[in-house]
Chains A and B, each alone.
Chain A
Amino acid sequence: MKRRSLLKYSLIAGGAAASGALVYSQIPYDEIDQEITQLDFEFFDQQDQIVLTAIIPIMLVGTNQSPKQIAQVIVNMDQAILFLSKQTQKELRELFDLLANKLGRVVLVGIWSSWRTANAEQLIEFLNDWRDSYIDLIQIGYQGLKQLVVGNYYADAESWSQIGYPGPPKLI
């Protein structure tokens, strides 16, 4: 199929991400958790936070992310979601419940062990599978997660030097 050949290409690109992910093969969960305990959340419960602390560092491989920034991304996401429509909030709640649920994790994510014991390759494979899924709802789930994670990482000035963005001009 035509799409397959393109997907092959993106798998090669995915391979590059996999090697980079080795940097984070040991996600510093303890340090991230420490940052998180100092913050307040309205939308995300503890189960959601466990899922996010596994996904976010993988999505942000290649950036200069720190445990503090990862925790900040989760807070930013939490706040951003409160501005979405009730229907969209409901859909996101279902998505996070699914990811935090053992059956959902095994069947739809393909991670048999817990989120925290999954290695970087498994997490990358899960994200790639969801990105390229033929099921619309799965694609939508990936796209929603990705937009929330990267959007809320690049929302803060700490990330800008990596992309050559000087920030807004100073007004006199």
Chain B
Amino acid sequence: MANNFNNPYSKESLAIKNWSLIDGSITQQSIELEADIVIVGTGAGGGIAAEILSKAGFKVIMIEEGPLRHSDHFNMLEKEAYPDLYQESAARKTADKAISIMQGRSVGGSTTVNWTSSFRTPRSTLNHWQKEHDVKGLSSEQMLPWFEWVEKRLNIHPWPVPPNPNNQMLQDGLTKLGWKSNIIPRNVNGCANLGYCGTGCPINAKQSMLISTIPTALDHQATLISRTRVEKLMTNGDKVSGVELRFMNDQGQLRNLKAGKIKAKHVILSAGAIGTPAVMLRSKTPDPYNLVGKRTFIHPVNLTAAIYDQTIDPFSGAPQSVYSDEFLWPEDSQIGFKLEVPPMHPVLTSTMINGFGEDHAQVFSELPKTNATLALLRDGFHEQSQGGEVRLDDNLYPVLDYPITDLLWNGFKKSYQVMMEVQFAAGAKKVIPMHRDAVFVDSWKKAQQMLEQLPMKKLRAKIFTAHLMGGAPLGSDPKSSIVGNDHQHHQLEGLSIMDGSVFPTSLGVNPQLTIYSMSARAATLLSEELMS
């Protein structure tokens, strides 16, 4: 057999498997199907649910708005990966353009392109949900078996290989300053330390939904319909009876062809914290307390870059292997943040460097000696952090409004400061906050002086998110939640939500393991209920 890295979707593999696959971008036939369970979205939530429910014997149909792409396509080129594998070609932004949104959109969702960081939900977060958001059944102790099940299923383990220099700089700086750092657990098996998780793993080492749970579901008679969007839920009284579909073309735009519908006993929304509220808003699902799409959290991210004497090659090696929670749970009333690093590849990095012309080219020419550090802010835990809102534009397409409050600006200012201090401690020659009015400075003192002057304003500071959460929160009280502790809709029968949109706040850690574990629990509960 040719070396296709055990690709479950290779021609040879598909020839013997008899999987049920439909591509909405090329089909000429309208769909009229029936299923026990329709799962909308194939990311962390939908992927896990699909495996558990199809193995339990239910007829499952998975619907994914992105294309089916796999390691035969994953050539590590940003130019091809972004349009293929990301929402809006990795250029999605908030409505005011102040925040860039990195979100996956292909079979496997963001798990196909994420950087593999796999953290259990912090105990403090689960406690906060219990205390402040009336969440039950999700304590650390109750979640433990689900964490353990997922960790085993996806081979999640602390990265045993030495961090790449980009991550090493973070660890070195933190250590010099007496701050704690740890090694990140990753969902990989046979990882070759290439550094291209973000363009789809070319060797199927990353245990994404694409190569783990979705193939299992397909082996258990599930159907996968890609390049197809759920336009609306169908209802019969207060019971969900199925979904109406729209086909997408190969540029991710709606096709005019009538796509049809699927009747189902149960529908699970797993379209992520932008897509799931969008389906509910288009369907005008009951929302007596006006909660749908509200309190959307994003772990807003700011960054600093540093140039060293030695070679860093920040595009090479496992993208994230070191983190620090030193500032995640501050004792004062300020917002906490987690420290990690981003990998740096040409396209995305080029858009992040200030200015144009020679200034831009000169800074970029130092890429091999550049390290970047990021802070992700733990939003949603404070009075002054109520998150954003997903709404529909004139084309019934979702957009996110996310106001940046003073609490968040103070958090950014503090994290800029901490990150630059860490980079200088690690031996950086010069450092810059990723802010449009900033310049490189060669000392920690000058960095502090500059920070005093930098306007903490949208469109000046460069803010990012790769974690979409909230908008359909879970909890016991229908006045403050959309779904119950079992992930089932409070008002509509036959509807569950299994994705990051059920989080009542952000997490303070990269979300994939939380989504996997909560969805594993929810899908198992649902399976038991539907069996009885």
Contact = CB atoms under 8 A, between A and B. Distances in A.
Do chains A and B stick together as partners?
yes
Interface of A: 2-3, 5-7, 9-10, 13-14, 16-17, 20-21, 58-63, 76, 79-80, 82-88, 124, 127, 131, 136, 139-140, 143-144, 146-147, 149-151, 153-156, 159-160, 162-165, 168-169, 171-172
B455 A3 contact: yes
Given A83-B251, A84-B91, 11 more contacts: A3-B437, A3-B453, A20-B358, A21-B357, A62-B360, A85-B397, A85-B399, A86-B395, A146-B351, A151-B350, A164-B365
B454 interface: yes
Given A143-B97, A164-B367, A83 B351 contact: no
Nearest to A150: B350
A59 B356 CA distance: 5
Contact of A163 (B75, B83, B92, B365): B365
Interface string B196-222: 100000110000000000000000000
Per DSSP, chain A at the interface is: helix
Contact of B358 (A2, A62, A80, A164): A62
Question: For this complex, into which size category does the number of interface residues on chain B fall?
Answer: 35 or more
Contacts of A171: 202-203
18 contacts: A6-B437, A6-B439, A14-B355, A17-B359, A20-B358, A59-B356, A59-B357, A61-B356, A80-B82, A84-B88, A84-B89, A85-B395, A88-B88, A139-B459, A143-B459, A156-B79, A168-B196, A171-B202
A147 B91 contact: yes
Contacts of B436: 131
B159 interface: no
Contact of A58 (B76, B92, B356): B356
B196 A150 contact: no
A87 B455 contact: no
B196 to A, nearest CB: 6
Interface in B431-478: 436-439, 450, 453-455, 459
A168 B459 contact: no
Give 3 nearest A-B pairs by CB, closest first.
A62-B361, A168-B76, A62-B358
A35 to B, nearest CB: 19
A16 B454 CA distance: 22
B89 A83 contact: yes
Nearest to A139: B459
Contact of B361 (A3, A61, A155): A61
A152 B271 CA distance: 29
A48 B91 CA distance: 21
Given A150-B350, A165-B315, A171-B202, A10 B355 contact: yes
A139 B458 CA distance: 11
Given A17-B358, A168-B76, A162 B365 contact: yes
B327 interface: no
Nearest to A80: B89
B253 interface: yes
A34 B439 CA distance: 39
Contacts of A131: 355, 436
B393 interface: yes
B427 interface: no
A168 B317 CA distance: 11
A17 B355 contact: yes
Contacts of A2: 453, 455
A9 B365 contact: no
B394 interface: yes
Contacts of A59: 356-357, 360
